[in-house]
Amino acid sequence: MGIGIDITEVKRIEEISLRHKEFLTRVYTPREIEFCTKKRNKYQHLAARFAAKESVLKALGTGWSGRIGWTDVEVVNDRWGRPEINTYGRVKEIVQERRIKKILVSLSHCRDYAVACAQVITERG
Amino acid sequence: MDEKEITEKVRMCVAQALGMDADEVVPDAMLFDDLGAESLDLLDIVFRLEKAFGIQIPRGGIQSNVLGSEDVKEEDLVKDGVLTPLGIARLLKEMPEINPDRMPEGFRAEDIPTLFTVQTFINLTQKCLAEKEKKGA
């Protein structure tokens, strides 16, 4: 089991998105971009997803090391709107190698900040 | 472009990303501890360097040279998130600018970015420029 938490400033996400067009496509999956950019408070949602990606990597204890890419961790919402984590690439390999059963994540955001907390559940608990 | 020019341009990119005076951004300044950078700032710096130098910094960025190599298995370099002696040796070889005293026993791979200095980005830029030149040759 592992946990990770992260806080992200919404204004910084807005600034970097506006300054660097490649930011969105390098960090977020097409599904995340579609979800967030439809929202009125899109930068809050983008910030929450950024925090989620960081918190998942902290929970896995890997950080952004090796061959891990930002889009290897994707936040989607289930039919009730609850956030869920999908993994791809190197992160998916790590999840399989460590027999991780589930990655739980909780998000929250306001005008200024977004926070995320992730928990990694292995077969052993 | 000579080394001095690269250094000045990298310092400028880092200073702009962090909203600081370029004079404060000396090569041995540590990004997190000395300059107060956050992880999002590292991305901002990477994008600025890519634009300023016309280079492409690979995903996984700086650490990919250390832990993403095909010639050594990742599990020989990192065990349970902790760098092995081989991992530390490789890190010091790939990033000679870092201070080994900042890696106590049990140093975790996820904490590698805390070792980054301005010089780390100067070296990375030089490497990417050399690769770009090689490809163009």
pLDDT interval class at B76 (50, 70, 90): confident
Is residue B69 scored above 90 in pLDDT?
no
- The SS3 call for residue B4 is helix
Q: Which residue among B38, B60, B81 sits closest to A64, beta carbon to beta carbon?
A: B60
ipTM of the complex: 0.86
Supply the mean pLDDT for chain B. Answer: 88
- Cα B105 to Cα B75: distance, rounded to the nearest angstrom: 17
Q: Which residue in A38, A42, A102, A109 is the catalytic one? A: A109
Q: Closest Cα to residue B109, out of B135, B136, B86? A: B86
Report the 10 Å Cβ neighbour count for A22: 13
Report the 10 Å Cβ neighbour count for B16: 16
A58 is catalytic: yes
The pLDDT assigned to A69 comes to 87
Kindly list the domain boundaries of chain B, sorted by start residue.
Answer: 3-129
Q: Cite the beta strand spans of chain B per DSSP E.
A: 78-79, 82-83
The pLDDT assigned to A35 comes to 96
The string of pLDDT tens digits covering residues B32-68 is 999 999 989 999 999 999 999 999 887 666 665 566 5
Report the 10 Å Cβ neighbour count for A81: 6
Q: Could you tell me if A73 and A53 are in contact, meaning their C-beta atoms sit under 8 angstroms apart?
A: yes
Q: Which residue among A16, A61, A65 sits closest to B40, beta carbon to beta carbon?
A: A16
Q: Would the CB atoms of B40 and A9 count as touching at under 8 Å? A: yes
What average pLDDT does the segment A31-44 reach? 96
Query: From 3.40.50.720, 3.90.470.20, 3.40.50.1950, 3.40.50.920, which CATH number describes the A2-122 domain?
Result: 3.90.470.20
Q: Extract the tokens encoding B9.
A: 């341009």
- Cα B106 to Cα B123: distance, rounded to the nearest angstrom: 26
B63 chain-A contacts, CB cut-off 8 A: 63-66
Kindly list the domain boundaries of chain A, sorted by start residue.
Answer: 2-122
- The SS3 call for residue A30 is helix
Fold of domain B3-129? 1.10.1200
The string of pLDDT tens digits covering residues A49-107 is 999 999 999 999 876 666 788 999 999 999 998 999 999 998 999 999 889 999 999 99
Q: Would the CB atoms of B68 and A66 count as touching at under 8 Å? A: yes
B 54-113: CB under 8 A from A:
59-61, 63-64, 66-68, 74, 78, 80-81, 108-113
- Cα B52 to Cα A50: distance, rounded to the nearest angstrom: 25
The string of pLDDT tens digits covering residues B1-40 is 899 999 999 999 999 999 999 999 999 999 999 999 998 9
The answer for residues whose C-beta is within 8 angstroms of residue A20's C-beta and 6 or more apart is B44, B47, B48, B51
B60 chain-A contacts, CB cut-off 8 A: 64-69
What average pLDDT does the segment B95-111 reach? 87
Q: What's the Cα-to-Cα distance from A80 to each of A33, A48, A53, A84, A87, rounded to whole Å?
A: 19, 18, 21, 11, 20
Is residue B120 scored above 60 in pLDDT?
yes
- Cα B21 to Cα B98: distance, rounded to the nearest angstrom: 23
What average pLDDT does the segment B64-74 reach? 65
The pLDDT assigned to B81 comes to 80
> Which percentage of chain A shows pLDDT scores above 90?
81
The H-or-E segment that residue A91 falls in is helix A89-97
